[in-house]
Structures are given as C-alpha cells and as structure tokens.
Amino acid sequence: MNSLVGGKSMNEWWRWLPGKDEESLGFAVVGIGRFGTAVCRELIRNGADVLAVDSSERAIEELRQLEPSIEARVVDSTDEESMKEAGVFEMGTVVVGISKPIEASITTTLIAKDSEGSRVSQVIARATSDLHERMLTRVGADRVVFPSRMQGERLGLELVRPNLIERLELDDRTGIDEIKVPEIFIGRSLRDLNLRKNYLVNVLAAGPSGHLIINPPAKYILDQDHVLVVMGLMEDLQKLPQV
C-alpha cells in the first residue's frame, strides 16, 4: 500500500509508537498553526485527552471555534514555569508544532523533555530544515517530522492508533487500513473473529508482512507477527482493537 504523504512509505515517516502509559496520560500540542491544529483535531476525533497551548491568543481562539470542547491555553512555551502551570508536564506525549522562530522550537523541545518532575516521556517536534532537525534531535526530541496539514492529521491518528501501519482513504467516509494484529486476535481464526459481523469491516488480506494472503480463507489463523488489511467506514475502522 502506498502512502498519501509526500509519496513516501508511511513506514519511513511514522514509526514512533506510543506506549499505553504515555497515551493514558494524554497529549499536549504546543504551537497551534496548521500542523498543530491538524494534530489536535485528529486526536480529539479519536477521543484522546488533549491540551493545546500557544503564545498567540488569536490562535487559541481560532482553535476553540473549531473545537469548542478542547482544553486550550495561552502560554509562553519558552518559559518553564508557564509550561508547568499550564499542565504540559502532566502529559505523556508532547508535540511541538512551532516552526518559527527556531529558537522557540528548540527551547520548547528542551523544556518539554528535560524539566524536573515532568511526566513527559515522548517529544515529537516539527522541523523546517535539515539543520533544524539536527538541532531538535540534539536537545532530545524523540521524533522529528516535517510540516504539512496531512502529516499533522496522520501524526494525530498514529498517536491514538499505535497498531496502524498504513491507511488509504478511498473517499471522505471509506478507507483501507493495514494494521498489526491486535493481541486479542492472536491465535484465532477469521471465522471465529467474524470481523464483518462484529466490526463491520471486510478482510482483504492477512499474514506476515511482505507475504500477505489475498482474500484469506475463514479458517486462517492469525499469528503474533501478522498484519491485517481491512476495508470499511472510517468510524468502523477506528473501533478495531488496538495492540
């Protein structure tokens, strides 16, 4: 399956997978431009606990108009005490969506990663150049991504669906997902799982990555290292169990 982002495989861009503890602590998104807004909206759409912060009151108000239920605060992210008071350090994952000035991006990443007493265990930062990427990595970013609205949406989806390998959107409502087999599916046959009845999705392929069986028989048993390729409505795909 091919990526929708920049013509590259999703495996190249989105290998960061949050642990259960990180996800349960929620997500902070710092910098609410197009990228940060896309991340916030995708996280909220998938039921995640999200805290959005930006130094611009206008950016925060525009986000609140789009997502009235979101917890959003005006914060100077280069000030450690302000970040602490805002609750950023109580989140398991911080997405730094700041692009300019670069100094603010780097300082925010460093604060999120290294502040004493912080519960943050993963920091994903946005870069605008190769040099920016290297600097973010040096101050502790666990993952660096390059900006676009589509990548923001993709990152938000990856954060709440850690077993998602690839998604192909057929239209606004329907898609095809390639996923790692959830733990509760391991050792069970497709007949037993009956995904069409229980989850309203159709199995297109299953098996070890790189050796998929197209239209597998009902007796096919899923193993730990297998992947599933399933098609259905987006809302039904999102209800599939996670790893």
| CA dist., res. 26 & res. 37, Å (int) | 16
Q: State the pLDDT confidence band at 191, using cuts at 50, 70 and 90.
A: very high
User: Does the pLDDT at position 19 exceed 50?
Assistant: no
Structure tokens that stand for 160 in this block: 């709440």
> If DSSP states are collapsed to H, E and C, what string results for 77-134?
CCCHHHHHHHCHHHCCEEEECCCCCHHHHHHHHHHHHHCCCCCCCEEEEECCCHHHHH
More confident site: 170 or 83:
83
Contact call for residues 77 and 98 (beta carbons, < 8 A):
yes
Options 3.90.1560.10, 3.40.50.150, 3.40.630.30, 3.40.50.720; CATH for 10-160 is 3.40.50.720
Scanning the structure block, which residue is given the tokens 């902070």? 28
End-to-end CA distance of the chain: 21
Domain map (residue ranges) of the chain = 10-160, 164-237
* Model pLDDT, residue 234: 86
**Mean pLDDT throughout 97-116?**
91
User: Does the pLDDT at position 12 exceed 60?
Assistant: no
User: Does the pLDDT at position 13 exceed 50?
Assistant: no
* Model pLDDT, residue 91: 94
| CA dist., res. 242 & res. 184, Å (int) | 9
Per residue in 47-86, pLDDT (tens digit) is: 889 999 999 999 999 999 999 989 999 999 999 999 999 9
pTM, to two decimals: 0.64
* Model pLDDT, residue 57: 95
* Model pLDDT, residue 184: 92
More confident site: 238 or 76:
76
Three-state DSSP at 60 gives helix
**Mean pLDDT throughout 208-233?**
90
| CA dist., res. 241 & res. 86, Å (int) | 32
Which residues sit opposite 143 in a β-bridge? 124
Q: Please name the residues in contact with 171: beta carbons below 8 A apart, sequence gap of 6 or more.
A: none
Question: Quick one: what percent of the chain has pLDDT higher than 90?
Answer: 51
Q: For all residues of the chain together, what is the average pLDDT? A: 84
User: Which fold does the domain 164-237 belong to in CATH?
Assistant: Alpha-Beta Plaits (3.30.70)
